[in-house]
Structure formats: structure tokens, C-alpha cells
């Protein structure tokens, strides 16, 4: 099966450094095949046997052993990524005038009520899809967006965020 592993909070501001070459080697050491990393923010596309939870646990343990710090890992199937992508409006982009993020949710936060917890404002366009929140705001409205209040909250700690360009690139990698 094809999967994507999303690592939370690595290589941010010099904290939790994980070189992608070493991450790839670690994944291959776990027996994963067709391993490809994408940009330095902790995205791994691979093939393996197992459940998403078992694969995430194996990678978390490997990172803790190899790099000496804990990292939360979310693993999704290619099919799950396709379902998220099918719900993402084509005109929601990341550009000079618009920002779109895909907020991948850990299971304990994955429910339609997550939107209420996030408290979007009138300038925000927000959708929950199983496994993620899709968030779009015009760049001119970004300072009035609820996105500014999210960092550091309990809710924020139960997700890992990728911009829409990264999401679409990962989807393309999964499609081969």
C-alpha cells in the first residue's frame, strides 16, 4: 500500500533537526520501500504493509532512538489523501493574494465540531473533511483571520499543517 507520513514540528526554527537523507534511510531501515521525502518539513511518501497507526508508531520510535527527541507522526493512506483532495476547491490556492492550508488532524480532534473549536472569523473559509480541516483566507484579510490565534493552542498541537502547494505535491507523488 502507498502512504504518506507527516511529521509534526521538525526543522522549525532550528528545533528538532531531522535531515531528510537520514529520515529516508531510517524509513528504509523500517522495511519501507519506494521512500521519497518532500521538502524539509517532514513529508515522506512510501510503500509498506501495515496499519497507519502501526507505521506511525514505528517511525516515532525510530526517530526517538536515532535523533533523541520525540516527534509526532501522522500516517495516511493514498486513498485518504485522495478523499481530502477531492474536497479541496481547485480555486483555493497559495499565491500572492491567497493562503490555503490543509490541517491534518490526529484522530482525537477529527470531528465536525473542530470548526467551532477553531473559531473561524468572517474572512475565513473553512471546511472539515474526515482527517483534515481545509482553511482558506485572502492574503489581504490574513491579519483578521482566526489563523493568527491558533498557534500554541491545544487544538493546534493535535494537528500538523501543510500549505496547499505541499499537499498537492504530496498527492502527485502518491499518484506516481
Kindly report the pTM of this predicted structure: 0.95
Taking the C-alpha atoms of residue 103 and residue 134, their distance in angstroms, rounded to an integer, is: 6
Q: Which domains does the chain have, with CATH numbers?
A: 2-78 (3.30.70.1280), 83-175 (3.30.70.1260)
Give tens-digit pLDDT for 52-98: 999 999 999 999 999 999 999 999 999 999 999 999 999 999 999 99
How do residues 143-173 score in pLDDT, each as one tens digit? 999 998 888 888 888 999 999 999 999 999 9
- Confidence at residue 87, expressed as pLDDT on a 0 to 100 scale: 97
> What is the residue-wise DSSP string for 102-142?
EEEE-GGG-STTHHHHH---TT-EEEEETTEEEEEEEGGGG
Share of the chain above pLDDT 90, in %: 86
Amino acid at each position: 500500500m502507498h502512504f504518506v507520513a507527516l511529521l509534526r514540528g521538525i526543522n522549525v526554527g532550528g528545533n528538532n533537526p531531522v535531515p531528510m537523507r537520514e529520515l529516508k534511510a531510517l524509513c528504509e531501515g523500517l522495511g519501507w520501500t519506494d521512500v521519497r521525502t518532500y521538502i524539509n518539513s517532514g513529508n515522506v511518501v512510501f510503500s509498506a504493509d501495515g496499519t497507519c497507526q502501526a507505521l506511525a508508531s514505528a517511525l516515532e520510535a525510530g526517530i526517538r532512538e536515532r535523533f533523541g527527541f520525540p516527534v509526532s507522526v501522522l500516517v495516511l493512506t493514498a486513498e485518504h489523501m485522495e478523499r481530502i483532495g477531492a474536497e479541496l476547491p481547485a480555486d483555493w490556492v497559495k499565491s500572492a493574494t491567497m493562503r490555503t492550508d490543509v490541517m491534518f488532524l490526529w484522530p482525537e480532534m477529527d470531528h465536525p465540531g473542530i470548526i467551532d473549536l477553531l473559531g473561524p472569523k468572517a474572512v475565513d473559509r473553512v471546511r472539515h473533511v474526515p482527517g483534515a480541516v481545509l482553511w482558506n483566507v485572502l492574503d489581504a484579510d490574513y491579519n483578521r483571520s482566526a489563523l493568527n490565534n491558533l498557534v500554541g493552542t491545544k487544538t493546534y498541537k493535535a494537528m500538523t499543517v501543510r500549505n496547499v502547494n505541499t499537499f498537492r505535491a504530496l498527492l502527485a507523488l502518491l499518484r506516481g
